[in-house]
Chains A and B, each alone.
Chain A
Amino acid sequence: MAVAIPQEAVRGRENYLREGGLLSWLITIDHKRIGVLYGLTSLGFMGLAGIEALLMRIQLAQPDNHFLSADVYNQFFTMHGTTMIFLVIMPLGLGFFGNVAMPLQIGARDVAFPRLNALSYWIFLFGALFMYSSFLFGGGPDAGWFGYANLTERFFTPGTRVDFWAIGLIILGFSSILGSLNFFVTIVNMRAPGMTFMRMPIFVWNILVASILVLVAFPPLTVGLIFLVMDRFIGTHFYSTVAGATPILWQHLFWIFGHPEVYILALPAFGIISETIPCFSRKPLFGYAAMAYATALIGFISYGVWGHHMFASGMGPIADAAFSLSTMIIAIPTGIKVYSWVATTWGGDFVKNTSFYYALAFVIQFTIGGLTGVMHAQPAMDLQQNGSYFIVAHFHYVIGGGSLFAFLSGIYYWWPKMTGKMMDERLGKLNFWLICIGFNMTFFPMHILGLGGMPRRVYTYGAGFHWAFWNMFETVGAFVMGVGILVFVIAIIQSLMSAETAVADPWDGRTLEWSIPSPPPIYNFAEIPHVHSKDAFWEMKHGRAQESRQPAAQPEHGAGGHGIHMPAPSLFPILLAAGLALVGIGAIAWLRITFVGVLIVYLAIIGMGFEYGTYGEHPSKERGDDAFPLDSRKVGMWTFIGSESLFFASLIGTYMVYKGRDLVGPTAKEILEIPLTSFSTFVLLMSSLLMVLALAAFERGNIRAGRNWLFGTAGLGCVFLGGQAYEFTKFFREGVTLQHNLFGQTFYTLVGFHGLHVLLGVIWLLTLAFASFKGMVPKKRALAVEFGGLYWHFVDIVWIVIFSLIYLMDKVTGA
């Protein structure tokens, strides 16, 4: 159900922060509150990562130091990297800024799927806590944030440390994918009337591309992590040479994710800077179109540069040349951005506040990091620097001097909007100079140390290398930076406690968020704005669009005199996330807990599915226009299916890579049964027919027929699963187990995951069928059946590929 806010009360509820008590934060689905939760959580973890970093710097301050043991140092550098990337920069950029600013900038009342948004946050929190709980059970993860195989195999890293890391990352991956899917749909489908793509604020462009990158980058990582978990728990050999496999597979799957990830971290920062620099230069952004295209181009190219992380692995001259070229090419759109920022400042009437200072420092430091990045595009040079402190300097200038500084600029910029308070400029300048000087003291000398040969990831070094001076210098710098962060925290507290309130538009801003009160009311916009140009709010205030400030749609007035409809808070997101965490805990501790977790997840999904059926449907209900005749839920479903395609592509790719490389038989050619599988294929194809007939019946309002077709579809799905169970059992009896050879492990994993999807589909369809008995799937909710159908057909098309590629082709070409 929805919360209906009486129109007469709209003007009275001006502050999203003050609605309800603590419990209201646990069940909130307001994007602004979720953004605040992301921000607080990320800053908390940044504190942890900072403490880890300072302890590492104390250890490295002197040669032959024993402040930390090698083991503890390994844990700290692993968790510092993992934390900063997965728990700080990424959730700050997308989760915090994406939630706080993006919906306001596009003139939306919330994101497309508010409860999914809450779910993303709670999964993020529980996943992070799960990973950090490793310290309570024998120590933290210690194999590096990149978790290179085969160091991560059970033989080399026994215990549960890597288990927590791998399962934690899988859980966090769910959060990232759900959150990005939500943002993608929101931006595609929920922009204010008149806001074309080329009128979107450039920050929104960057969030859009970063969200797409998450959707395409995380599935390969998830597959890589699943292989790792299987190697450690079940004894497969995906990354072990024992069975003819190669650890290099991990590097590919990891860096297929890893380099887009760099831009997932950087793009929100680019977006923030593209807002703050024009605002405080009192000029429009230079080259808006070029910036938008450059953003899209970065997203596209970033998927083809992963190999530059692997020059040292010996990929061969052709792959080296290709990745070298693509890496140099991606510098072009990035260069366009830097040029635009600099050109925007040219002749500007600067507002020299803290946000602007951080933005300028970002441009300089990010450019330094970018230039050293281009150096690494050359394999010959990369081989000299790889594994040295030069690389550490490079990526800290990109992510620390880049993204983190941009985020600080963004916090100072949007703080008045979020909180209704101003931040103290004197404290702001103080924390800027401390952090900026400390940062450069810490990381610039690492270039020198790296070129001098100091390897990264070492916990100590000998006095004879003459690295002591710069290491001490860096440690002092790190503490200066730490003091700067403390001053920043003090500035936040001081601001929250001060009585000074912020006006709605303290910066004379250009974008729509500045047109509403600070802090915004829970419904954001009392009247949805019409957009006629870029810099929409600026045009409204100063330009020709003043006359068009009339609302696009009057808030609906129902029979009860209700006005703006917002979705109600929900307990299910936090329940579902807790269930997912239990699944992870059970995998490590006690398997029965996993089953409890699965049950909670299932019930929570059902609860969410039937709790509130209409939110997210065609946005014209909210907006009063028909410019985008798309249903947000359907856009989301197709996006999810597309992302799932990459999951299966990674599984299929692995199967194809290992095909014919078994050291022992039996292999595909000797064991696969075509007649049985042909029958199963026929069954699955016919189930798709029944599924589409079910949908047609529900759309006609013939619920009984639709239900029968649904039962028929699920029944054929069960027949298919029965065939698969028979096939697996037969193979097991013939000695082909998951551990037996490469064919066994890749076949069972690929076909098994497909079977798992069929099983989930069967459960989904049966749930719909039984719900229809209670009248919960009426004609007007036939879309619910269509979503189940889309998923079912997707499972079908994956099988079409598997049947041809694995069964028919492999039987002929396989060993």
Chain B
Amino acid sequence: MSTAQASELAHEHEEAPRASTRVYVEIAVVLTVLTVLEIWAFYVPAVQPILIPLLMVLSGAKFALVVMFYMHLKFDHRAYTAIFGPLLTLGAFIVIALMIILAYFLGAPPTA
């Protein structure tokens, strides 16, 4: 196999068929619905007790949809997920660690 053929083959392998225009539009519709749900939950008093976990689930779903379909992680080589995933996890770790450690250090917010 020539170098050019190998390159072509590898390129095809990396860029396996992705989603169609129809799927992209469907994802946009789902993202819109999820956003509407978030805003609805925000304004409806009955949902307030579970608002925070609900918002986390909804925004997490939106985040995952964009990353999987629009950023093509669902279709591309798994190595990209292996690069992005741990770095994202570390980012979440920073947020949580700072919140826990400094909340203990600073005590309860004066206005809480």
Where the two chains meet, the residues of A that have a C-beta atom closer than 8 Å to any C-beta of B are 188, 215-216, 220, 244, 246, 248-249, 252, 256, 303, 307, 313-316, 318-319, 553, 556, 618, 620-621, 624-626, 629-631, 634-635, 638-639, 641-643, 645-646, 648-650, 652-654, 656-657, 659-663, 667, 674, 678, 681-682, 685-686, 688-689, 691-693, 696, 789-790, 793-794, 796-797, 800-801, 803-805, 808-809, 811-813, 815
Contact = CB atoms under 8 A, between A and B. Distances in A.
A620 B109 contact: no
Given A693-B24, A696-B24, A801 B101 contact: no
- The interface residues of chain B, by DSSP majority, are classed as helix
A815 B111 CA distance: 6
Given A692-B24, A808-B42, A815 B101 contact: no
Contacts of A804: 38, 55-56, 58-59
Contacts of B88: 642, 645
Given A635-B79, A642-B83, A674-B39, 5 more contacts: A618-B14, A649-B95, A661-B106, A789-B71, A793-B67
Interface in B15-72: 18, 21, 24-25, 27-28, 31-32, 35, 38-39, 42, 48, 51-52, 55-56, 58-59, 62-63, 66-67, 69-71
Given A629-B11, A653-B94, A641 B84 contact: yes
Given A624-B6, A812-B48, A800 B66 contact: yes
Nearest to B25: A689
Nearest to A807: B42
Nearest to A685: B31
Nearest to A786: B72
Given A629-B13, A790-B71, A801-B63, A256 B94 contact: yes
B70 A215 contact: no
Given A693-B24, A804-B55, A630 B101 contact: no
Contacts of A681: 35
Given A638-B84, A642-B84, A661 B110 contact: yes
Contacts of A244: 110
Contact of A315 (B39, B52, B76, B101): B101
B6 A797 contact: no
Interface string B75-104: 011011001101110111111011101111
A314 B105 contact: yes
A313 B105 CA distance: 9
A790 B97 CA distance: 28
A789 B69 CA distance: 12
Contacts of A656: 95, 98-99
A682 B35 contact: yes
Contacts of B7: 618, 620-621, 626
Contacts of A641: 84
Nearest to B62: A800
Given A319-B104, A796-B66, A626 B6 contact: yes
Contact of B52 (A249, A639, A796, A813): A813
Contacts of A662: 111
A274 B112 CA distance: 55
Nearest to A625: B6
Nearest to B87: A642
Nearest to A248: B105
- Please tell me the size bucket of the interface on B: 35 or more
B32 A620 contact: no
User: Quick one: which of A188, A686, A688 has the most chain B CB within 10 A?
Assistant: A688
Given A629-B10, A815-B109, A634 B94 contact: no
Contacts of A216: 87, 90
Contact of A809 (B4, B52, B110): B52
Nearest to B101: A319
Contacts of B76: 634
A630 B77 contact: yes
Contacts of A624: 3, 6
A265 to B, nearest CB: 20
B105 A316 contact: yes
B80 A638 contact: yes
Nearest to B41: A808
Nearest to A661: B109
A645 B84 CA distance: 9
Given A215-B87, A620-B3, A808-B38, A685 B102 contact: no
A246 B107 CA distance: 12
A553 B3 contact: yes
A800 B59 contact: yes
Nearest to A696: B21
A648 B91 contact: yes
Nearest to B39: A678
B74 to A, nearest CB: 12
A252 B98 contact: yes
B32 to A, nearest CB: 7
